[in-house]
């Protein structure tokens, strides 16, 4: 592996890791999750989850990638041949996510353009589901391609594959060095404008008002762990892949703290900006703040257009900047997630980088067109929910159980991390990863499965969820085992080689 690509600078690696972490989850998921789970009081379970699970797992994934220097499947195969499937499973999950994540970025791009003259008119909701997405009344059929989504989708794939074709240092690193500072500046503009709007303080009061009773509710802790996992891109194979491009001598633990705190800082900022804007709109329309809180597609593509409509001045500009932020945050995450399978197929099938990008990115791009059809939103919604619940979170749980309990590798990884990092990890790191985290995640998974068996997600018919939800999540795991059946080049697995 003498010619494995490497990051040019430590800052480049950290920016790329932050670029992956900071995504739509920060902007449209965190504010609503915090609000629904105790407001100001949510910060207690949230910080607990960050410090005992989020950052320890980031350190674990950074150390795995750095020590074994491979894509996720190669890393797990080198750790122990029996567990290669875990790497492929995570890569397959990432593949699924990338197919629809690209489509959401395409919507954001369209909306940046629509913002200029508020093309959505007085009824942004009807515009989104009717004029723009042309959504049919029931789930299950694709319908024709929607050109308004398809065209920006092509652009998203051209940018992403263009960056990846250029490689790690000249592609991913440079793209993040440009996109992340731009994102931070644009987002600060949005937040500063939002907090100075009339009604901002009402919104912030609603967001930060602590409901201390909620801390006793297990559901709130589950929400905090779920948010931290998704938000830090843990269990997606991403951080393993990115850290496999680190030079031999580098710091791991400190980088994990920086990445973790930067991501949470961005979430807090998003919470402040989003709730200030919601407070403004509530005051304009004379309704309470809790009536306008929303997350996901509804927040970004319905509520924000409403806010933009109400704006005192420069409506178009505010809209363009807001949707540009979504686009940038999304692109840096998409780049990271596509890199997981580009790296994996490149190593396993001994392809050139160009071929791996064209094959991996191309396959995802083709499948993503399904979500750019008229019925695409239903497929997207079901796939997103199930792949997160029974993909990312479950693979993260299996990852800690395998490493801490089955292979008992924590001690060895601790030694590796400490031999190169400024900051030492020790028995508390092993205790959090081997004790607290698997128990809480295990409980969470158990509850989740029960809930989803009892109640069909989103009121969709079970026939639809069977393939578009459960089926997609199961297919990722099956793909993991199938890909493991392909044999590695022996020389690649023999590791660590003396020569390196
Ligand atoms: N961490 C990302 C977020 O908060 C999640 C993500 C990463 C999604 C990479 C897709 C790809 O949005
Ligand atoms: Na995030």
Domain boundaries along the sequence of the chain: 17-249+257-406+430-493
In angstroms, the CA 102 to CA 327 distance is 10
Say how many Å lie between the CA of residue 65 and the centre of ligand 1: 19
| Ligand lying closest to the C-alpha of residue 260 | 2
Q: What is the 3-state secondary structure (H, E, C) of the chain?
A: CCCCCCCCCHHHHHHHHHHHHCCHHHHHHHHHHHHHCCHHHHHHHHHHHHHHHHHHHHHHHHHHHHHHCCCHHHHHHHHCHHHHHHHHHHHHHHHHHHHHHHHHHHHHHHHHHHHCCCCCCCCHHHHHHHHHCCCCCCCCCCCCECHHHHHHHHHHHHHHHHHHHCCHHHHHHHHHHHHHHHHHHHHHHHHHHHHCCCCHHHHHHHHHCCCHHHHHCHHHHHHHHHHHHHHCCCCCCHHHHHHCCCCCCCCCHHHHHHHHHHHHHHHHHHHHHHHHHHHHHHHHHCCCHHHCCCCHHHHHHHHHHHHHHHCCCCHHHHHHHHHHHHHHHHHHHHHHHHHHHHHHHHHHCCCCHHHHHHHHHHHHHHHHHHHHECCHHHHHHHHHHHHHHHHHHHHHHHHHHHHHHHCCCHHHHHHHHHHHCCCCCCHHHHHHHHHHHHHHHHHHHHHHHHHHHHCCHHHCCHHHHHHHHHHHHHHHHHHHHHHHHCCCCHHHHCCCCCCC
Q: What is the pLDDT of residues 196-215, one digit of tens each?
A: 999 999 999 999 999 999 99
Query: Ligand 1 within 6 A of 71 CB?
Result: no
Query: Ligand 1 within 6 A of 21 CB?
Result: yes
Query: Ligand 1 within 6 A of 101 CB?
Result: yes
**Mean pLDDT within 166-183:** 98
Of 230, 341, 396, the residue with max ligand 1 atoms within 8 A of its CB, to mutate for a pocket test, comes to 230
Q: Please check the confidence at residue 118 and state whether its pLDDT lies above 60.
A: yes
Q: What local confidence, expressed as pLDDT, does residue 93 receive? A: 95
**Mean pLDDT within 446-462:** 92
Q: Please check the confidence at residue 13 and state whether its pLDDT lies above 90.
A: yes
CB count, 10 Å around CB of 388? 19
Residue nearest to atom 9 of ligand 1 (CA): 333
Q: Please check the confidence at residue 499 and state whether its pLDDT lies above 60.
A: no
In angstroms, the CA 429 to CA 432 distance is 5
Confidence of residue 496 (pLDDT cuts 50, 70, 90): low
Q: Which of 49-63, 254-268, 472-486 has the lowest mean pLDDT?
A: 472-486
| Ligand lying closest to the C-alpha of residue 98 | 1
**Mean pLDDT within 52-58:** 96
State the average pLDDT for the chain. Answer: 94
Query: Ligand 1 within 6 A of 26 CB?
Result: yes
Query: Ligand 1 within 6 A of 24 CB?
Result: yes
Query: Ligand 1 within 6 A of 280 CB?
Result: no
Contact 339, 242 (CB under 8 A): yes
**Mean pLDDT within 469-495:** 87
CATH number for the segment(s) 17-249+257-406+430-493: 1.20.1740
Say how many Å lie between the CA of residue 180 and the centre of ligand 1: 14
| Ligand lying closest to the C-alpha of residue 238 | 1
| Ligand lying closest to the C-alpha of residue 230 | 1
Query: Ligand 1 within 6 A of 160 CB?
Result: no
Q: Please check the confidence at residue 498 and state whether its pLDDT lies above 70.
A: no
Query: Ligand 1 within 6 A of 333 CB?
Result: yes
Say how many Å lie between the CA of residue 18 and the centre of ligand 2: 8
Query: Ligand 1 within 6 A of 72 CB?
Result: no
Query: Ligand 1 within 6 A of 315 CB?
Result: no
Rounded to 5 degrees, what are φ and ψ at 123?
-130, 75
Rounded to 5 degrees, what are φ and ψ at 69?
50, 50
Count of alpha carbons within 13 angstroms of residue 456, beta-carbon side: 12
Q: Please check the confidence at residue 444 and state whether its pLDDT lies above 90.
A: no
Confidence of residue 1 (pLDDT cuts 50, 70, 90): very low
Q: Please check the confidence at residue 270 and state whether its pLDDT lies above 50.
A: yes
Q: What local confidence, expressed as pLDDT, does residue 182 receive? A: 98
Of 17, 25, 183, the residue with max ligand 1 atoms within 8 A of its CB, to mutate for a pocket test, comes to 25
Q: Please check the confidence at residue 353 and state whether its pLDDT lies above 50.
A: yes
**Mean pLDDT within 74-86:** 95
Query: Ligand 1 within 6 A of 97 CB?
Result: yes
Say how many Å lie between the CA of residue 213 and the centre of ligand 1: 30
Closest by Cα among 332, 355, 2, 384 to 183: 332
Please identify, by atom number, the ligand 1 atom nearest to the C-alpha of residue 233.
1
Q: Which of 162-166, 188-192, 391-395 has the lowest mean pLDDT?
A: 391-395
Residue nearest to atom 8 of ligand 1 (CA): 333
Residue nearest to atom 11 of ligand 1 (CA): 333
Say how many Å lie between the CA of residue 16 and the centre of ligand 1: 12
Of 20, 238, 361, 384, the residue with max ligand 1 atoms within 8 A of its CB, to mutate for a pocket test, comes to 20
**Who wins on pLDDT, 69 or 390?**
69
Query: Ligand 1 within 6 A of 16 CB?
Result: no
Q: Please check the confidence at residue 117 and state whether its pLDDT lies above 60.
A: yes
Query: Ligand 1 within 6 A of 20 CB?
Result: yes
| Ligand lying closest to the C-alpha of residue 266 | 2
Q: What is the pLDDT of residues 236-246, one digit of tens each?
A: 999 999 999 99
Q: Which of 140-144, 434-438, 461-465 has the lowest mean pLDDT?
A: 140-144
Q: Please check the confidence at residue 2 and state whether its pLDDT lies above 80.
A: no
**Mean pLDDT within 150-157:** 98
Q: What local confidence, expressed as pLDDT, does residue 393 receive? A: 83
In angstroms, the CA 254 to CA 418 distance is 11
Q: What local confidence, expressed as pLDDT, does residue 277 receive? A: 97
| Ligand lying closest to the C-alpha of residue 267 | 2
**Mean pLDDT within 296-324:** 94
Please identify, by atom number, the ligand 1 atom nearest to the C-alpha of residue 329.
12
Q: Please check the confidence at residue 500 and state whether its pLDDT lies above 50.
A: no
Say how many Å lie between the CA of residue 1 and the centre of ligand 2: 31
Contact 433, 57 (CB under 8 A): yes
CB count, 10 Å around CB of 313? 6
The pair of three-digit structure tokens given for residue 486, joined into one six-digit string? 């392909």
């Amino acid at each position: 592996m003498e010619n494995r690509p490497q990051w040019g600078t430590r800052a480049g690696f950290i920016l790329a890791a932050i670029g992956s972490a900071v995504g739509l989850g920060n902007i449209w998921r965190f504010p609503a999750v915090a609000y629904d789970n105790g407001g100001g009081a949510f910060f207690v379970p949230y910080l607990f989850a960050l410090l005992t699970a989020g950052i320890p797992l980031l350190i674990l994934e950074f150390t795995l990638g750095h020590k074994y220097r491979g894509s996720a499947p190669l890393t797990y195969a080198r750790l122990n041949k029996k567990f290669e499937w875990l790497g492929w499973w995570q890569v397959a999950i990432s593949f699924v996510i990338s197919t629809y994540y690209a489509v959401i970025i395409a919507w954001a791009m369209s909306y940046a353009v629509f913002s200029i003259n508020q093309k959505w008119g007085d009824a942004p909701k009807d515009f989104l589901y009717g004029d723009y997405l042309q959504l049919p009344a029931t789930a299950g059929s694709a319908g024709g391609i929607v050109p308004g989504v398809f065209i920006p989708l092509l652009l998203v794939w051209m940018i992403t594959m263009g960056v990846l074709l250029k490689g790690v240092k000249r592609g991913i690193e440079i793209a993040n060095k440009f996109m992340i500072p731009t994102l931070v500046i644009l987002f600060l503009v949005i937040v500063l404008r939002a907090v100075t709007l009339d009604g901002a303080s009402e919104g912030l009061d609603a967001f930060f008002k602590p409901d201390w009773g909620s801390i006793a509710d297990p559901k709130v802790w589950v929400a905090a762990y779920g948010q931290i996992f998704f938000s830090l891109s843990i269990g997606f194979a991403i951080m393993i892949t990115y850290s496999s491009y680190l030079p031999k001598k580098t710091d791991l633990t400190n980088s994990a703290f920086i990445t973790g705190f930067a991501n949470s800082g961005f979430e807090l900022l998003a919470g402040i900006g989003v709730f200030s804007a919601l407070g403004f709109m509530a005051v304009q329309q004379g309704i309470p703040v809790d009536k306008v809180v929303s997350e996901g597609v509804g927040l970004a593509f319905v509520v924000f257009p409403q806010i933009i409509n109400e704006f005192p001045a420069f409506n178009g500009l505010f809209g363009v900047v807001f949707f540009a932020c979504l686009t940038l945050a999304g692109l840096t995450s998409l780049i990271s997630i596509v890199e997981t399978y580009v790296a994996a197929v490149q190593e396993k099938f001994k392809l050139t980088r160009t071929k791996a990008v064209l094959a991996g990115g191309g396959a995802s791009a083709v499948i993503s067109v399904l979500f750019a059809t008229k019925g695409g939103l239903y497929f997207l919604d079901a796939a997103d929910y199930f792949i997160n619940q029974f993909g990312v979170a479950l693979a993260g749980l299996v990852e800690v159980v395998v490493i801490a309990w089955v292979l008992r590798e924590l001690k060895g990884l601790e030694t590796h991390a400490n031999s190169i990092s400024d900051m030492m990890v020790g028995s508390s790191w092993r205790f959090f990863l081997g004790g607290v985290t698997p128990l809480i995640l295990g409980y969470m998974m158990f509850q989740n499965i029960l809930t989803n068996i009892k109640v069909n997600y989103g009121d969709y018919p079970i026939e639809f969820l069977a393939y578009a939800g459960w089926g997609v999540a199961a297919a990722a795991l099956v793909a993991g085992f199938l890909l493991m059946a392909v044999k590695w080049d022996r020389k690649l697995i023999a590791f660590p080689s003396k020569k390196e």
